[in-house]
Amino acid sequence: MKNRRNDFYKELDSYKNRRSGCGCSSLLIFFIGLTIIGEILLFTFFDQIRYNPKVERVELPKGEVSRPQVVKLSQVESEIIVPQGMLNLALQEALSKDLSSQINEEGIEISGKIGYLLPSNATVTLYPEVEGGDLNFKIISVKIGEISVSKALAFNVSALVERALENKIGKMEDYHLEAAVLSEAIMRLIYRQNGN
């Protein structure tokens, strides 16, 4: 019995003499590893913010591209065809020469220094909607570099695009819009002339 008790105490004494797993060298290795992982994450994050989207710039010849085309569909309905080049020109004249736009089925993608809250590598995707005869642009997404940010940062972009279009098309109040349709590089606005 006494022998068993001595063995038990020897075992406890040997645990006290062993080093704990959390010494200075292990803490140093842990913090070095943590620092390296943190630097990699920060580098990746800032690299994604600095990403500058490359939307094709459309060189605009004078003439047809700078004006919308009006097509009569029936006695009461017509459509305004807004080509991508005209939209680009309208945005550049109204807002900034450093803007570019791209129209496809998913929306209108505008890149560049759009508003005072967005940097020059921002991209805003809008989709035209017609409600009660009025054209509105719904904000689909806002990105800075490759990082999605809050749509609230682009709260004024819809109004800026509407104003830029009005400079080329005329006052939207002159038309009772029925639909806005997007296709590759073209936006079609189907309308009835007010009074019809």
Residue, of 140 and 61, whose pLDDT is higher: 140
Farthest-apart Cα atoms in the chain, separation: 113
- The whole-model pTM stands at 0.65
Is it the case that residue 24 has pLDDT exceeding 60? yes
Q: CA–CA separation, 173 vs 196, rounded Å? A: 14
Query: In whole angstroms, how far apart are CA 12 and each of 2, 4, 6, 17, 23?
Result: 16, 13, 10, 9, 20
Pairing of the two strands 77-83 and 186-193: antiparallel
Question: How many beta carbons lie within 10 A of that of residue 162, not counting itself?
Answer: 15
Task: Report phi then psi at 155, rounded to 5.
Answer: -60, -30
Report the distance separating Cα 66 and Cα 82, nearest Å: 9
Separation between Cα atoms, residue 123 and residue 156, nearest integer Å:
14
Q: What is the pLDDT of residue 64?
A: 47
* Tokens at 12, concatenated: 């406890």
Residue with tokens 């990105």: 143
Residue 30 has pLDDT above 60, yes or no: yes
Mean pLDDT of 130-143: 87
> Between helices 84-94 and 157-169, what is the axis angle to 10°?
110
Of 136, 154, 134, give the one whose Cα is nearest residue 144.
154
- Averaged pLDDT, 45-71: 60
- Domain map (residue ranges) of the chain: 2-50, 64-193
The residue written with tokens 């620092």 in the block is 35
d(CA 143, CA 125): 9
| pLDDT-wise least confident of 56-65, 111-120, 132-141, 155-164 | 56-65
Distance CA 184, CA 66 (A): 18
CA distance 148 to 151: 9
Q: Residue 47 has what pLDDT?
A: 67
